[in-house]
Structure 1
Amino acid sequence: MAAEQRLRSVNFWSGVVVLCLTIAGALVGIYQLNEVLTDEQQVPLAELSVQGELHYTASEEVRQALTAEPLGSFFTADVDDLRRRVEQLPWVQKVSIRKVWPDKLSVYVTEHKPVAMWNGDRLINQHQEVFRADITRADSSLPQLFGPENAVKETWEEFNRVQQMLEVNGFQIRALRLTERFAVNVVLAQGIEIKLGREATLERIKRFIDVFPSIVEHEKSKNNEIDTVDLRYDTGAAVAWREAKSES
């Protein structure tokens, strides 16, 4: 009986030792595997692919933004952090990043598409979002919009509404200003300023189109140039002139 109990005890403790060794071995294995997976030298992100229609941002700028700080390994690289690095570039609107086994980082960049200048020092993109970038790199023919900072959408919509009616009649807007009281002033490509006020802007534009031929005839007869056409009246228009530039 005593011998049987001793055998059971030996078997129990032998099992405990084996279990402990197994657990220790598994922990060591997990630790070693973790060391491998988190080691940039063992599983590095060796390939970097940059895609997208890039007009203002060079692929090398994207690479530099990503590698300004360590990327991490394939398993530890934080995709959200890497995305934020690229989105800090001035012309970048949105970034999509994914890992491709075994060592590739695929980056797709969507740029801002400027549609107008905003308040002289910034730009508006295709989603009516204001962004700051080097405006000298944008198309110089972009319209210049001025308005309250909280009325970007309203200013852009007013520009499109007025421009749509003017361009049918051969006019192009160079600049539009929306005041704090939402009054509208427009400067045409030929330098003529049109004051439309707050109300009935489309009706006033139609009036401008109707009276413009007569104004031009007067311009020719007086050898002056049209400076301002003020349409903030129930009928008619007030025209201010500037002296025509002499040709040398």
Structure 2
Amino acid sequence: MKRRRLITLSAASAFILMAGGILLADLQARPIRAVRIAGEFQHLARPALQQSISGALSARVFSVDVDAVRDAARRLPWVRDASVRRVWPDSLHVAVVERVAVARWGERGLLEEDGALFIPERQTALNDLVQLRGPDGSQREVLSRYRALRTLMAPAGQPIVVLELSNRGAWTVALENGVRLKLGQSPSEETLHGFARAMTAVSRHGGSAIDTVDLRYINGFAVRWKKEPPAQG
């Protein structure tokens, strides 16, 4: 009786192992039938993303290298991060986070909130973003200075459209109304506050006639006015 029970258990175990092996073989041979991409995109083109990850896909869902698919997605300039997982029974789920640009950098670059630089393959119409320039590797410093200046200059009522750091460490600003500011290497907050207050008053009485303001003085600033065009006749 005991021997018969052992034979029955052995047969059942063998059947379970065989069934499991068949199921595993079926799963390993199952092809990828769908790749689902999740994410909200304003600049990232889905066809470009699909093309990028297609080269990392294998024919079988269980043999695909999910890390390779993730890395293929991350190689696109507008992709900040990506994650990939298998979905039962025959799909892949690719979640993508698009970068958010807060400033333009140099000729073609863009900056994220943390100052990370990325360069899109195609020129993107983001002319409403401030234009920042500076030596290589200075993007975080320039972005930080822009934020500080934006707060200090708020009373002037003229947004900063360009901020540039020269190779010698001097700062130059262009305001929305066309006025250029020479700040030098270490502009004082007191001088900037004074200019912002003065600019508020001057704007009411022909502020557009100002060409350049030099704020490199300790106790004030110098104004250069635009030249009036010669009279016709």
TM-score category, normalised to shorter length = 0.7 to 0.9
On the 8 A contact 2:172/2:180 being kept in 1, the answer is: yes
AA matched with 1:199: S
Question: What TM-score results when the alignment is normalised by the length of structure 1?
Answer: 0.75
Q: Determine helix, strand or coil for the equivalent of 1:157.
A: helix
Q: Matched residues in 2 for 1:214 and 1:90: separation? A: 44
Separation in 2 of the partners of 1:98 and 1:82? 10
Q: Does structure 1 residue 231 correspond to structure 2 residue 215?
A: yes
Q: Distance in 2 between matches of 1:186 and 1:135?
A: 27
Secondary structure of 1:54's aligned partner: coil
- Structure 1 gap segments, 5+ residues each: 1-25
**Which residue of 132, 136, 144 corresponds with 1:145?**
132
| Aligned equivalent of 1:12 | none
Question: Aligned-pair distance for 1:37?
Answer: 5.3
Which residue in 2 is equivalent to 1:6? none
The answer to whether the 8 A contact 1:163-1:172 is kept is yes
Report the Cα distance in structure 1 between the residues aligned to 2:217 and 2:37, rounded to whole angstroms. Answer: 57
Q: Report the Cα distance in structure 2 between the residues aligned to 1:245 and 1:70, rounded to whole angstroms.
A: 65
Report SS of the residue matched to 1:137: coil
**Separation (CA, whole Å) in 1 of partners of 2:68 and 2:90:** 18
Question: What residue identity is the alignment partner of 2:68?
Answer: D
Identity %: 31
Cα offset, 1:123, TM superposition? 0.5
In 2, are the aligned partners of 1:123 and 1:135 still within 8 Å (CA)? no
Query: In structure 2, how many angstroms separate the alpha carbons of the residues matched to 1:152 and 1:91?
Result: 18
Q: Return the letter of the residue paired with 1:46.
A: R
> Which of 89, 93, 103 is the equivalent residue of 1:106?
93
Q: Partners of 2:50 and 2:178 in 1: how far apart?
A: 44
Matched, 1:210 2:197: yes
Query: What residue in structure 2 maps to residue 48 of structure 1?
Result: 35
Do the aligned residues in 2 keep the contact of 1:175 with 1:188 (CA within 8 Å)?
A: yes
Distance 2:96 2:55 in 1: 18
- AA aligned to 1:237 is F
Q: RMSD between aligned alpha carbons?
A: 2.8
1:198 aligns with 2:182: no
Q: CA deviation at 1:45?
A: 1.3
1:66 partner amino acid = I
Q: CA deviation at 1:181?
A: 3.9
Alignment-mate amino acid for residue 100 of structure 1: V
The within-5 A match list for 1:180-195 is: 180-195=167-182
- How many residue pairs were aligned? 212
Deviation at 1:83, TM superposition (A): 0.9
**Equivalent residue number for residue 240 of structure 1:** 224
CA distance in 2, matches of 1:72, 1:245: 71
Aligned equivalents of 2:196 and 2:54: distance in 1?
Answer: 57
Q: What is residue 115 of structure 2 aligned with on the other side? A: 128
1:146-165 deviation digits (Å, cap 9, x = unpaired): 11222211111100000012
1:16 is aligned to none
Residue 135 of structure 1: how far off its partner (Å) = 6.4
3-state SS of 1:73 partner: coil
| 1:60 equivalent among 47, 56, 61 | 47
Q: 2:200 and 2:53 mapped to 1: Cα distance?
A: 59
**Which of 105, 116, 126 is residue 103 of structure 2 equivalent to?**
116
Tell me the amino acid that sits aligned with residue 236 of structure 1: G
Give the distance between the partners of 1:167 and 1:215, measured in 2 at CA.
Answer: 15
**Aligned position for 1:22:** none
| Superposed displacement of residue 173, structure 1 | 0.3
Question: Which blocks of at least 5 consecutive residues in structure 2 are unaligned?
Answer: 1-16
Shift of 1:139: 2.2
Supply the distance in 1 between the matched residues of 2:215 and 2:156 (Cα, whole angstroms).
17
TM-score normalised per structure 2 = 0.79
Whether 1:85 aligns to 2:72 is yes
Q: Counterparts of 1:241 and 1:102 in 2: how far apart (Å)?
A: 72
